Amino acid sequence: MQFKKLVPIQKTSSFHGVVFRIEELLRRGTLKPGQKLPSETQLAEMLQVSRPTVREALKALSLLGFITSRSGDGTYVAEGGRDLFMRAVYFSSLLGTEDFLGLIEARIAIEPFLAEMATQRATKAELARMQDCLMHMKAGLGNTEKYLNHEVAFHDQITKAARSPILQAILESLRDLLLEGRRKITSGMTDLRNLEFHTRIYEAIAAKNPELARQRMLEHLQDNREQYEAFYKTFRVRKLSRASLFPRLLVPSMRNPSARRAK
């Protein structure tokens, strides 16, 4: 890599600028696992920021596992391949503003299609596992962590049943961040209403009705998006990392899953 071609960082956002620049190189694969980084002095000159700014950014990247220091030998990109990409997506979203809503929109673009495919490809064993997840979700009502774990497992079962490994890999790379948002922002949504959304999705898949499965998954995810939008609007939170500073979001029902007539 030609480090001398790095674009200087704007002084108004120097710390975040350094982090974003290195994170961008990681996502694009320009920086490879095991590759040595220039020294702090060289990076400061290339990016036209101070050495303390570079040091602070490298410390943050090191804490998250992007880079690692070798005593007497400098700083290297951490080994990890696919895990490195997943951490890059995670960190980028933590530093972003309402881009977290973009992750919800990614789910809206992907998961209704996967639900549709699951109606055609799910085996009896996979349908049984989805039903088992629903039973555990019902048993976990009132226990947020237990409920959320089985809710994630339910969506995972649909993704696996769809037999679409590329889309599955994309969703897996986003899972940790989405679950973090679920815990911090909408953990109050572990009630019968939420369970009903999932039950209706399962029923459509089990009935092998692709159009209905797509519609019900879309309704569920759009409802999720409305909950997050309400949170950001109410508290004007610009980072998911600040969400824990505010109360759990308790928003009145915006969409009744039983209100829409099944096709």
* Cα gap 72→36, rounded to integer Å: 13
CA distances, 158 to each of 119, 125, 252 (Å): 9, 12, 28
User: Which amino acid is present at 257?
Assistant: P
In terms of CATH architecture, what is 3-80? Orthogonal Bundle (1.10)
How many Cα atoms are found within 13 Å in the side-chain-facing hemisphere of 175? 17
For residues 151 and 194, what is the distance between their CA atoms, to the nearest angstrom?
A: 10
Beta bridge partners of 36: 76
Question: Given a cut of 80, is residue 206 above it in pLDDT?
Answer: yes
With a cut of 50, say whether residue 165 has pLDDT above it.
Answer: yes
Q: Which pair of structure tokens corresponds to residue 159?
A: 């993704």
Location of structure tokens 């702090």: 40
Q: Tell me what pLDDT residue 207 has.
A: 98
Please tell me the predicted confidence (pLDDT) of residue 241: 44
Following CA atoms 187, 189, 190, 194 in sequence, which dihedral angle do they give, to the nearest 10 degrees? Answer: -150
CATH architecture of 96-245: Up-down Bundle (1.20)
- Residue 171, pLDDT > 50, answer yes
pLDDT of residue 94: 52
Residues β-bridged to residue 76: 36, 68
Pair of tokens at residue 173: 């790379």
List pLDDT tens digits, range 27-56. Answer: 677 888 889 999 999 988 888 888 888 888
Q: Of the given ranges (12-16, 75-79, 98-102, 222-226), which has the lowest mean pLDDT?
A: 12-16
14-17 own/partner pairs: CB under 8 Å, 24+ apart:
14/49, 14/50, 14/53, 15/53, 15/56, 15/57, 16/95, 17/47, 17/49
**Cα–Cα nearest to 201, from 170, 161, 141:** 161
Q: Which of 3-12, 17-26, 176-185 has the highest mean pLDDT?
A: 17-26
Distances (CA, A) of 235 to 181, 229, 231: 14, 10, 6
Closest CA to 61 of 7, 19, 13: 19
User: Per residue in 62-118, pLDDT tens?
Assistant: 766 778 888 888 999 887 644 555 555 555 555 444 566 778 888 999 999 999 999
List, in sequence order, every beta strand (DSSP E) within the chain: 67-70, 74-77
- Identify the weakest region by mean pLDDT among 168-172, 237-241, 257-261: 237-241
Distance CA 259, CA 249 (A): 23
- What H or E segment, with its residue span, contains residue 127? helix 124-139
Coil vs helix vs strand at 68: strand
DSSP for residue 186? S
0.75 cut: is pTM over it?
no
Residue 58 has pLDDT above 70, yes or no: yes
Each domain of the chain, given as residue ranges in start order, spans 3-80, 96-245
- What is the rounded CA–CA span in Å between residue 249 and residue 226? 12
Question: Could you count the other beta carbons within 10 Å of the beta carbon of residue 97?
Answer: 12
Determine the Cα–Cα distance for residues 227 and 32; give it in Å rounded to an integer.
Answer: 38
Task: Tell me, yes or no, if the two domains 3-80 and 96-245 fold the same way.
Answer: no
Does residue 67 sit in helix, strand or coil? strand
